A and B are shown apart, each in its own frame.
Chain A
Amino acid sequence: GENVEQHPSTLSVQEGDSAVIKCTYSDSASNYFPWYKQELGKGPQLIIDIRSNVGEKKDQRIAVTLNKTAKHFSLHITETQPEDSAVYFCAASSRNAGNMLTFGGGTRLMVKP
């Protein structure tokens, strides 16, 4: 089945700096790659996603890039703010797994004011 690895597990940046979180996946049939943000005491919230027919997608300060050949995708957050502090999860979905999502281990992002 699908295996998703996420790095780093914790990331501390200064306010205003950029943050990058990377994920790799194992199933070449995976075609959907969402990113979720989980704040303390809340459920995960979808912040951006990308499908395998595009290489990059941007939404204001966040962007996701996908390299299908290398089977990795990344989340980029620019001009970080304290409210970006949360746990971020990547995930991958494969037709081979009935389109079910497999989640990475999570990254705890801390943005220091």
Chain B
Amino acid sequence: SAVISQKPSRDICQRGTSLTIQCQVDSQVTMMFWYRQQPGQSLTLIATANQGSEATYESGFVIDKFPISRPNLTFSTLTVSNMSPEDSSIYLCSVSGGWGEGANVLTFGAGSRLTVL
């Protein structure tokens, strides 16, 4: 399965600032996703990062708050904009296993733990 590297692994941020999280995959992948995991909670899909086009956002998430880039098939970034303490979460990058039955088999990065003061 793909190996995913996320940076930063953790950060402490001030209210009102923005932070960009990077996700690097060791192989070309079609589908990349960004998830949020609030403290003690489950995983919620933020958006699908589409290569060469705008990301597809899930209900409750908007591009102005979570802009996403996907310049190629191995890299994506998620920015958390104008942060508030409610944005304190783990942000996870994931990729799917490809086509057919592999399309819904997800591999996750280690996550980026953000604390907003």
Chain A residues in contact with chain B, CB under 8 A? Answer: 32, 34, 36, 41-46, 49, 51, 89, 93, 99-101, 103-106
How many of chain B's residues have a CB under 8 angstroms from any CB in A? Answer: 18
With A and B bound together, what is the CA distance between A75 and B96 in angstroms? 22
| Contact in complex: A49, B43 (CB < 8 Å) | no
Q: With A51-B101, A101-B106 given, is the CB distance from A43 to B92 under 8 Å?
A: yes
Centre residue among B4, B41, B43 by max chain A CB count within 10 A? B43
Q: Between A and B, how many residue pairs show CB distances below 8 Å?
A: 43
Most B C-beta atoms less than 10 A away, residue of A44, A100, A104, A105: A44
> Which B residues contact A (CB, under 8 angstroms)?
4, 41-45, 92, 94, 101, 103-111
In the complex, the answer to whether A99 meets B104 with C-beta atoms within 8 Å is yes
* Nearest CB of A to B102, in Å: 10
B-side contacts of A99, CB under 8 Å: 103-104
On whether the beta carbons of B43 and A44 are closer than 8 Å, the reply is yes
User: Can you list 29 A-B contacts with CB-CB less than 8 angstroms, sorted by A residue number?
Assistant: A32-B104, A36-B108, A42-B110, A42-B111, A43-B92, A43-B94, A43-B109, A43-B110, A43-B111, A44-B43, A44-B92, A44-B108, A46-B105, A46-B106, A46-B107, A49-B105, A89-B43, A99-B103, A100-B45, A100-B104, A101-B104, A101-B106, A103-B42, A103-B43, A103-B44, A104-B42, A105-B41, A105-B42, A106-B42
